[in-house]
Structure 1
């Protein structure tokens, strides 16, 4: 016979579930009607709704498969990559999915540290959060790495002359030298 969970565990689980339900309700309210979306709007809505569903499933204790957040690349000939990996980014994932990166409107994608940093570097007003089972310091490592990565780093054939096209560290250095 299974022992009864403690009151504290039930309260913590209930709080996590309540937070997951509130998140799902907000995402559904924001993205439930897709009739006026463009292509970017659909992608943003899909990411937000998928992430809120993952949070809800995790709170219910049913999202037990570690690889469930990985997606297959087009053609299926490469290993699965995390949702934070841009479709045009040729780099493979480097490690498990450990962070969620949110943009200024709270749409987000979970990913490995490598793709999380590349995504964060490409966003204005983005934030990074470690997932509950992430190793200590994962979000800090992603944040620090993003500071030195240029936006959309897989685009290497265009000249980068404006501050917005440089890494945040390069833009800061450039401003200090002027």
Structure 2
């Protein structure tokens, strides 16, 4: 024997991260998220509306983390779209209107990409899609999907875009139907 007391090897829990690695900073996390967002959504050609909604959500979260790391967070105003009340996935990034409540329906496009949304944004999204469909979520009151479908018929596609609208694809379904009946 050598006379040197034996030391206990450090114990670790299976699956626990090594204690030698430092916790990543908010800035480092924001940078990683931003890099991943650019790698995934940097080229937007060929994406469906669901991919845009995912990209918007990821981008908004990356910006929140970055602003928090720089100690420059915006003051929470309690309106839809702030960190306190995020907007529903059916809300288009350029649509400035707030949500009308919790998501109650799912809107599907012609390729079956989907986005859950409040009744307001679901109707606006459905009005902007060709071949879109709407289904009520399990917790929605009966008739919710029908109300959204009927509301979408009177909404012009991409209603937040200003400018003259003269072609059928720029008008609401009701306006197109009325135009056809008048001839």
Whether these two folds match at TM > 0.5 is yes
In structure 1, the gaps of 5 or more residues are: 1-33, 51-70
Distance 1:106 1:81 in 2: 22
2:50–2:115: 8 Å Cα contact kept in structure 1? no
Distance 1:155 1:172 in 2: 22
Equivalences for 1:1-178 in 2 at 5 Å? 38-42=43-47, 44=49, 46=51, 74=60, 78=82, 79-156=85-162, 158-178=163-183
> What TM-score do the two structures reach when normalised by structure 1?
0.61
Distance 1:117 1:97 in 2: 12
- Residue 118 of structure 1 deviates from its aligned partner by 0.2
- Residue 108 of structure 1 deviates from its aligned partner by 1.1
SS at match of 2:151: helix
Distance 1:45 1:137, change over 3 A: closer
How many residues are aligned here?
Answer: 122
Distance 2:48 2:114 in 1: 10
The CA RMSD measured in Å over matched residues stands at 2.8
> What TM-score do the two structures reach when normalised by structure 2?
0.59
SS at match of 2:106: strand
Could you list the runs of 4 or more consecutive aligned residues of structure 1 that deviate by over 6 angstroms after TM superposition? none
- Residue 95 of structure 1 deviates from its aligned partner by 1.1
Distance 1:119 1:142, change over 3 A: same
Distance 1:43 1:84 in 2: 12
Distance 2:99 2:50 in 1: 23
SS at match of 1:101: strand
In structure 2, the gaps of 5 or more residues are: 1-38, 65-73, 75-81
Distance 1:142 1:114 in 2: 8
